[in-house]
């Protein structure tokens, strides 16, 4: 298998996955759900909301993508499949470490997860060939550090992560829709 990603691989990913916008949308909604659960039921249930909801982002994102008329899958020979899978393994390990931080100091969980998700979006800049993922990842990483160093309450940290992702879901959907109209 050729492991060198090309513009063709990125184009296939963009088309199949609607530029990744459905995943950003679902992720943002999971973060907002975690913030609401944190507000109503406390940080412990909010942590599990984000972890369990996070595990459902990919399948839910695929459903949204298919509802929008895209295949949600690329060919097996697309070199970017391996990059996406490698970043998924890394994501799972970082979720476990974030949970470990939660056990030590609960207010660290959401900033750690925000930095984890932000870092993964940096990989998506290569997967989709879109610079907006550098911006999204960078903003989430900066927000994670601000939440961490300011001691932001978990409910607000979770809400911040959700708002950032929802804003970027809108931006990525808008760009992808404009690209479709210009074809």
Span 49-79, pLDDT tens digits: 999 999 999 999 999 999 999 999 998 889 8
| Helix/strand/coil for 71 | coil
Cβ 40 vs Cβ 118: under 8 Å: no
Span 72-91, pLDDT tens digits: 999 888 989 889 999 999 99
Q: How many residues does the chain have?
A: 183
Residue 124 CB neighbour total at 10 angstroms: 26
pTM: 0.94
Query: Residue 108: is its pLDDT beyond 70?
Result: yes
Residue 141 CB neighbour total at 10 angstroms: 19
Rounded percentage of the chain residues whose pLDDT exceeds 90 = 87
Q: How far apart are CA 61 and CA 57, in angstroms?
A: 6
Q: How far apart are CA 71 and CA 99, in angstroms?
A: 34
Q: How far is CA 3 from the centre of its chain?
A: 24
């Amino acid at each position: 298998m050729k492991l060198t990603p090309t513009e063709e691989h990125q184009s296939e990913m963009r088309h199949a996955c609607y530029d990744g916008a459905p995943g950003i949308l679902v992720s943002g909604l999971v973060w907002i759900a975690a913030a609401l659960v944190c507000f109503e039921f406390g940080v412990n249930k909010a942590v599990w909301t984000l972890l369990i909801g996070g595990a459902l982002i990919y399948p839910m994102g695929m459903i949204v993508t298919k509802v929008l008329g895209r295949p949600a899958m690329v060919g097996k020979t697309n070199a970017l499949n391996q990059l996406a899978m490698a970043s998924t393994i890394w994501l799972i390990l970082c979720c476990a470490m974030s949970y470990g931080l939660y056990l030590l100091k609960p207010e660290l969980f959401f900033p750690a997860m925000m930095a984890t998700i932000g870092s993964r979006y940096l990989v998506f800049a290569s997967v989709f060939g879109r610079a907006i993922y550098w911006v999204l990842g960078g903003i989430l990483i900066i927000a994670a550090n601000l939440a961490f160093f300011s001691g932001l309450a978990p409910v607000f940290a979770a809400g911040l992560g959700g708002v950032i992702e929802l804003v970027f879901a809108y931006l990525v959907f808008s760009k992808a829709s404009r690209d479709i109209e210009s074809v």
